[in-house]
Amino acid sequence: MADTTAGTPQHVAPDEGEAIWFMGGLFTVKASTEMTEGTYTLVEQRFAPGFTTPVHVHHRDHEAFYVLEGEAVYRCGDRTFKVGPGSFVFLPRGIPHVFRVQGGREARLLEILAPGGGERFFAAAGEPAGARRVPPPGPPDVEKMQRAAQRHGIEILALPQDLAG
């Protein structure tokens, strides 16, 4: 298991890191705020085909994604990016954004949040993962997510079901 003492070399094995089920995805914290002395958070994410985030704005942190597997479409402000393995997407704080997993296969991404602290939102809005896999389908706890978002400088502008039509 990783030593989370700041200022010491770290190693987190493939099956290690805090695992969280949030909004139908598996979030595995690979570099916590404590580990990086608050400079960034790194989270491996897995999503089923068709997964989408709410339209939201980060007021505290920049968000970036590196696509390891699968395909997605990101919309940030008036820009749209269709991405696949090897793609990198940077989403500056203060700009509304959303993404959706495309195609018929699971997506696996690395998310970087800077400065650190993003993993605390996922933990507050989600739940400890019952297994290291994408969780069974089910509706998110919207009220819990909204409360956590407010505490962590995130503004939810539209929920996925609000985007239909």
Structure tokens at 133: 């896999």
Structure tokens at 23: 């909004």
Total-model pTM: 0.91
Domain ranges of the chain: 19-163
Task: Give the pLDDT confidence of 3-39 residue by residue, as tens digits.
Answer: 556 778 999 999 999 999 999 999 999 999 999 999 9
Class of domain 19-163: mainly beta
